[in-house]
Amino acid sequence: MTNHKELQEEIKKRRTFAIISHPDAGKTTLTEKLLFLGGQIRSTGTVKSRKSAKYATSDWMEIEKQRGISVTSSVMNFNYKGHTINILDTPGHEDFSEDTYRTLLAVDSVVMIIDAAKGVESQTKKLFKVVSEHGIPIFTFINKMDRQGREPLELLEEIEDVLGIESYPMNWPIGIGQSFQGVYDRHQKAVEFYDTEGDNKQAMQISDLEDPVLKEKAGEDLVNQLQEDVLLLDEAGATYNEEALQSGKQTPVFFGSAISSFGVPTFLNHFLDLAPSPAPRESSEGEVKPDEETFSGFIFKIQANMNPAHRDRVAFLRIVSGTFEKGMEAWLERTGKSLKLSQGQLFFASSRGNVEKAYPGDIVGLYDSGTYQIGDTLVGSKNVYSFGALPTFPPEHFAKVRAQKAMKQKHFYKGVQQLSEEGAIQVYRTAHWDEIVIGVVGRLQFEIFEYRMKGEYNVDIQFDTMPHQHARWIETDNPEDKVDSIRNMLVYDQLKRPVLLFQNDFALRWFKDKNPDIPLRESR
Ligand code: GDP
């Protein structure tokens, strides 16, 4: 048993976060540098970027390999300066999926990486929306300052305009691209000079921005510009507000260059100081505090092993309260049944290891032979409660699917049902012919669906991809009257609620203009 004080200390040490970004902004690179600082990897360049292994869409072996990688890199756990850190992976390339969104509901804070040349990109916007709706604290790292990028002020403005969050620069760049000299830390009144080693040997305390040493090192012009910028920020910029940060209303911004690790250690130190440790969570019985003695947690992701020799699934459990102990008994709220949690796994940078004990904020992988569903609550006592269903997220790709052979119908429906419970796909039926339509957030999910239907249910699938891009729950008594066969299409979800599929943004706007009184919802 862990005593209460021990439990509180373990909670205080923990930081569980995810990195959100658009592909290529530098997520892999930054993650690697963080793992390196944590001593988890000995040299950088070892975390395989999924896109670097050339991806052939029709090559099933390739998918297996990739899924194999993504299981082990789903959660990366490491220690740094007395903290225990869990980074949850948010797959963003071909394997962008609903899991990517759901993972954001299992973290206590988020790091947003922005490419200094590209600004706020589409995938970042989508992920940011989920983060901000849930009031999760968000830290911004503006990356690639060693390359010619946009003006820093312009980038801040874009963050505020496009994402609608106030930004507070913690440091400020001296020059950009070719002329990038380093950053000025506004709080500590120190300058870190850029060097490609990135180990901060050259961090230098300065009394103020007039310090002659600064001009000597960075040059007159850049220092003049820095003085001007900092004056402007002090006078017209946001004031630092801890409360706004903790509620996700203000984001502290750091400039740096992940590839040279420049600014990364300082970023990590500030982050560990400011980011929250595991928070209480609302349940059907009121707020559950992390230091409550009773263990609790919820399942936010289920991942199937694509290797036919290991037909297991792993359910990812985020611990909310109490201590997880190997072999413990817990109750599944949905069924009220008790389970023995004998095979928990903790995830490390590049491996999985059996876990004896885990604490709030930690992610435990549970072997699953079909017991768990997305959003399940587990409680270490008979008096169960629920953390509530996780929201669904709007699919962007749709296809009509059926079994190639009518004989396989039963297996087909079983597979569709199970994969939908796992959260891999969303399932609808068409209004008239009762055809099955599946919706996914990322296209790769279609291939995984087809592959698993064949491998696990022995059903060959006939696919008809559809041109639709948006699904919206429609609240009206007579949805059939609202169908405009050219621009939208009516289907029903698993609970027989009407959903309209739209071909594009234009069709969606058109519908809204014509039917201002009918609410359309992205998630239920
Ligand atoms: P991800 O798709 O977000 O995981 O991005 P990666 O970490 O794979 O980086 C994408 C590309 O940008 C790679 O070629 C990196 O080497 C490069 N990159 C990452 N960080 C920096 C940086 O700070 N400066 C420069 N110049 N390139 C970077």
Kindly give the distance from the C-alpha atom of residue 118 to the centroid of ligand 1, in angstroms, as a whole number. 12
Verify whether ligand 1 is closer than 6 Å to residue 422 (CB atom): no
Across 471-479, average pLDDT: 90
For residue 145, the model assigns a pLDDT of 96
SS3 421: helix
Q: What is the mean pLDDT of the chain?
A: 87
List pLDDT tens digits, range 314-370: 889 999 999 999 889 999 999 999 998 876 666 544 445 667 889 999 999 888 888
Verify whether ligand 1 is closer than 6 Å to residue 258 (CB atom): yes
Q: Residue 205 corresponds to which tokens in the numbers above?
A: 């305390």
Question: What's the ipTM?
Answer: 0.99
Kindly give the distance from the C-alpha atom of residue 365 to the centroid of ligand 1, in angstroms, as a whole number. 30
Residue stretches of the annotated binding site for GTP = 21-28, 89-93, 143-146
For residue 306, the model assigns a pLDDT of 59
Burial class (CB in 10 A: 0-12, 13-18, 19+), 195: middle
Residue with tokens 């004056």: 231
Kindly give the distance from the C-alpha atom of residue 126 to the centroid of ligand 1, in angstroms, as a whole number. 21
Across 115-119, average pLDDT: 97
Q: Are 424 and 449 in contact (CB under 8 A)?
A: yes
- How far is Cα 140 from Cα 20, in angstroms, rounded to an integer? 10
- How far is Cα 189 from Cα 17, in angstroms, rounded to an integer? 28
Residue 198 has pLDDT above 70, yes or no: no
Confidence grade of residue 51 (pLDDT, cut at 50, 70, 90):
very low
Lowest mean pLDDT among 53-57, 462-466, 487-491: 53-57
For residue 69, the model assigns a pLDDT of 43
CA distances (Å), origin 227, targets 220, 234, 434, 501? 11, 10, 67, 53
Residue 59 has pLDDT above 90, yes or no: no
Across 459-485, average pLDDT: 90
DSSP codes, 97-142:
-HHHHHHGGG-SEEEEEEETTTBS-HHHHHHHHHHHHTT--EEEEE
For residue 58, the model assigns a pLDDT of 34
For residue 40, the model assigns a pLDDT of 72
For residue 54, the model assigns a pLDDT of 36
Q: Are 330 and 379 in contact (CB under 8 A)?
A: yes
Angle made by CA atoms 418, 423, 428, in degrees to the nearest 5: 75
SS3 522: coil
More confident residue, 51 or 160: 160
Verify whether ligand 1 is closer than 6 Å to residue 177 (CB atom): no
Residue 486 has pLDDT above 80, yes or no: no
Residue 50 has pLDDT above 90, yes or no: no
Instruction: Name the residue of 20, 127, 146, 259 to mutate for ligand 1: max ligand atoms within 8 A of Cβ.
Output: 259
For residue 346, the model assigns a pLDDT of 60
- How far is Cα 488 from Cα 520, in angstroms, rounded to an integer? 13
For residue 460, the model assigns a pLDDT of 97
Residue with tokens 């949850």: 88
List pLDDT tens digits, range 230-289: 999 999 889 999 999 999 999 999 999 999 989 999 999 999 999 999 999 999 999 999
Verify whether ligand 1 is closer than 6 Å to residue 33 (CB atom): no
- HEC string of 330-376? EEECCCCCEEEECCEEEECCCCEEECCEECCCCEEEEEECCCCCCCC
Q: What percent of the chain has pLDDT over 90?
A: 62
For residue 41, the model assigns a pLDDT of 67
Q: Please provide the distance, in angstroms rounded to a whole number, between the alpha carbons at the two ends of the chain.
A: 40
Verify whether ligand 1 is closer than 6 Å to residue 25 (CB atom): yes
Kindly give the distance from the C-alpha atom of residue 182 to the centroid of ligand 1, in angstroms, as a whole number. 19
CA distances (Å), origin 399, targets 90, 274, 417, 451, 496? 24, 44, 16, 15, 18
Residue with tokens 């790769």: 444
Confidence grade of residue 62 (pLDDT, cut at 50, 70, 90):
low
* Contacts with 452 (C-beta within 8 Å, 6 or more apart), sequence order: 304, 306, 415, 419, 424
User: Which residue's CA is the nearest one to ligand 1's atom 11?
Assistant: 24
Q: Residue 238 corresponds to which tokens in the numbers above?
A: 């946001």
List pLDDT tens digits, range 413-425: 999 998 898 888 9
Residue 457 has pLDDT above 70, yes or no: yes
More confident residue, 440 or 91: 440
Burial class (CB in 10 A: 0-12, 13-18, 19+), 348: middle
Query: Within 13 Å, how many C-alpha atoms sit on residue 256's CB side?
Result: 29
Across 193-207, average pLDDT: 67
Kindly give the distance from the C-alpha atom of residue 181 to the centroid of ligand 1, in angstroms, as a whole number. 19
Q: Are 465 and 397 in contact (CB under 8 A)?
A: yes
Q: What percent of the chain has pLDDT over 70?
A: 88
Verify whether ligand 1 is closer than 6 Å to residue 28 (CB atom): yes
Angle made by CA atoms 189, 173, 219, in degrees to the nearest 5: 85
Q: Are 157 and 151 in contact (CB under 8 A)?
A: no
Across 408-437, average pLDDT: 91
Number of H helices, E strands in the chain: 13, 31
Give CA 255 to chain center in angstroms: 21
CA distances (Å), origin 219, targets 190, 214, 215, 226? 17, 8, 5, 11
Lowest mean pLDDT among 81-95, 180-194, 267-281, 296-310: 296-310
Confidence grade of residue 55 (pLDDT, cut at 50, 70, 90):
very low
User: Which residue's CA is the nearest one to ligand 1's atom 2?
Assistant: 24
The torsion region of residue 350 among left (phi > 0), alpha (psi -120 to 50) and beta comes to alpha
Kindly give the distance from the C-alpha atom of residue 30 to the centroid of ligand 1, in angstroms, as a whole number. 8
For residue 229, the model assigns a pLDDT of 94
Residue 334 has φ and ψ, to the nearest 5°, of -60, -35
